[in-house]
Structure 1
Amino acid sequence: MDFETLVGSRRSTRGYQQQPVSKELMVEIVDLAQRAPSSMNTQPWNFHVVTGPPLEQIRKGNTERMLAGAAVDREIKMADHGYQNEHRERQVEIAVQLFEAMGIERHDKERRQDWVMRGFRQFDAPVSVVVTLDRALADDTIAHFDCGAATYGLVLAATSKGLGCVINGQGIMQSSVVREHAGIPEDEVIMTCVAMGWPDPDFVANDVVSRRVANDDTAAYIGFGE
């Protein structure tokens, strides 16, 4: 497909068929993702592609710890105050869209909690790609930017191959669990993970398209003679 169609067809997939994804296909996807640009060609990213029993252990550990009330154990820094103002409004808006699609009522605490736990289970996807950053560049925000570019490349590459995926910060909330079962070396920092697999066509939330801010509200065009 052409690039415009590819970008427009990408969705955050939160429901998957329990059908395995081959290593050969994942190699193709990672090869494409690694064509992402990086500052001075540093290529500071790493991809740990996890499936099978190790992924099940990650799901189990994340779920058990979060249900037990464990503190968040993420290696990448988060804002102390959480999202605020327009960023919080956008976060709430997509949650409302998803809950409406799934028929989850505001008062239905059980289904709301189950939805949150799906994130900690990496949405029960057959594959999770844990994206890490070389620790030598952990304090270099340019490297963070590069890592984000590679992650978006990973998502587009997966979409181009017919897979669904969602960038999922909940999946690394207990990063020590992820590190243990994915065998991630100590000289890498866990940044995020991407749940990935064949989309479930009957999972209605997969059809939700998040609303985007208008072009005029995010971009300035200077020097065009208008």
Structure 2
Amino acid sequence: MDFDEVLRGRRSIRGYRPDPVPRALIEEIIALAMRAPSSMNTQPWHFYVVTGEPLDRIREGNTQRMLAGVPQSREFRTGQAFAGPHRERQVGVAKQLFAAMGIAREDKARRDDWVLRGFRQFDAPVCIIIAYDRAVDGSDDTPFDCGAVATGLVNAAWSRRLGCVINSQGIMQSPVVREHAGIADDHAIMKSIALGWPDETFPANAVVSERRSVDEAAVFVGFGS
């Protein structure tokens, strides 16, 4: 795929085939992602690539602790709940996904199961945890740089027919993630990315989230009429 095809075609994948993903292919994708812009070339990012039994233990521990009511322990700031247009967009994509999956508003069991999929990393065969150096914690540039490398990663994966979804549910219980992914003490966990071969029969994978127009998002200054 060329660059435009990747950007226009990529979408979040929430249903995966169980087929393994070769390590060499993941290394190739991460190498491409690391060409992302980095403020003053600090490159604060680290990648923990987890599959197999360690990933199963993270899924199990994450889910069990959440169901038991253990408070979430994300290490990167969570911010306030969305409101206004941001909340409207969040609800809008949820409606798209539930409609695709045939989940009715009153169907609490299936809605709850959908949430649990996030805690299980969407049952993807691979989880990539993005962490950053604690030495730069609090820097405005660090989340920008990690966001850039995550964007590069999901696009590089898509160009190779692999799907991803960036999420936070899979790292809600950081002690579990730290134990089974071997996160270094001087690294802080920021995000997780589920990765694998898309299951083309999974209805939600066909959902393309709505995007604002350029006219809505951009202000042009000094260009004339």
Superposition TM-score, scaled by structure 2 size: 0.99
May I ask how many residue pairs the two structures share in their alignment? 225
Number of the residue aligned with 1:121: 120
Query: How far apart are 1:7 and its partner, in Å?
Result: 0.4
Partner Cα distance (1:225, 1:112) in 2: 50
SS at match of 1:106: coil
Partner Cα distance (2:2, 2:159) in 1: 10
Note the alpha carbon deviations across 1:21-79, whole angstroms, 9 max, x for none.
01111111111111111011111101111001110000000100011111111001112
Q: Give structure 1 regions of 4+ aligned residues with deviation exceeding 4 angstroms.
A: none
Question: What are structure 1's unaligned runs of at least 5 residues?
Answer: none
Find out whether 1:195 has 2:200 as its counterpart.
no
SS at match of 1:24: helix
Partner Cα distance (2:56, 2:26) in 1: 18
Number of the residue aligned with 1:58: 58
Number of the residue aligned with 2:17: 17
Paired letter, 2:25 = L
Partner Cα distance (1:44, 1:84) in 2: 31
Paired letter, 1:144 = P
Number of the residue aligned with 2:148: 149
* Identical pairs, percent: 59
Number of the residue aligned with 1:2: 2
SS at match of 2:198: coil
SS at match of 1:162: coil
Q: Write out aligned runs for 1:59-208 (5 A).
A: 59-79=59-79, 81-208=80-207
Partner Cα distance (2:10, 2:137) in 1: 29
Number of the residue aligned with 1:211: 210
Superposition TM-score, scaled by structure 1 size: 0.98
- Structure 1 residues 211-220 or 178-187, which shifts more? 211-220
SS at match of 1:155: helix
Note the alpha carbon deviations across 1:7-30, whole angstroms, 9 max, x for none.
011110000001000111111111
Query: How far apart are 1:217 and its partner, in Å?
Result: 1.5
Paired letter, 2:50 = V
Question: What are structure 2's unaligned runs of at least 5 residues?
Answer: none
CA RMSD between the two structures? 0.7
